[in-house]
Amino acid sequence: MTGYSRAKFPHWQSQSLKGPGCDTREVVLKRDGTAVRHDDECRAVSGRWKSVYDGRSYTRSSSVDIDHMVPLANAWRSGADTWSTQRRRAFANDLSRPQLIAVSAASNRSKGDQSPDQWKPPLRSYWCTYARAWVQVKQHYALSITQTEKAALGEMLDTCR
């Protein structure tokens, strides 16, 4: 973790094409929620969100975190320490891959920067989707996977139907 700082991954960048004041967080809240309404500054003021990690539902956006599927610190340990700031920004704001997901604040904070060998979503029914997303993000960004991480991903992928 030598040299790691969350600030080296500029996140929640402006997504001006989505509307004035919209940043990555607000775009994900809208994408992952139901009946989401934004104010004039693009802040989610109402809606419904269901956390796929633990099955909990919320009606206040302040109860929802945007999880980086592959945490920033994990990416740093897996190869992002050699990236440019521009590439780290793209990773931290990636709306094209399953890197960002709206989940309960409690589950996101429980996960922290852990990999699948250290933390799995409480809902076993989400393990397959989680493992597939993790692998897709790591593969796209050419990030390394440890042997214990690989074993845990295999266990989770075994739940796919």
For every one of its 161 residues, what pLDDT tens digit does the chain have, with 9 covering 90 and above? Answer: 789 999 999 989 888 666 667 899 999 999 999 999 999 888 999 999 999 999 999 999 999 999 999 999 999 999 999 999 999 999 999 999 999 999 999 999 999 999 999 999 999 999 999 999 999 999 999 999 999 999 999 999 999 98
What does the pLDDT read at residue 63?
A: 95
Q: Is residue 125 part of a domain?
A: yes
Is there a domain that residue 2 lies in? Answer: no
Full domain range(s) for residue 98: 11-157
Q: Is there a domain that residue 128 lies in?
A: yes
pTM of the full structure: 0.92
CA-CA distance, 34 to 46, in Å (whole number)? Answer: 9
147 lies in some domain: yes
Q: Give the C-alpha distances (Å, rounded to integers) separating 8 from 42, 76, 92, 109, 112.
A: 25, 10, 10, 20, 17
pLDDT at residue 41 in the model? 87
Total domains in the fold of the chain: 1
In a domain, 6, yes or no: no
Report if residue 111 sits inside a domain.
Answer: yes
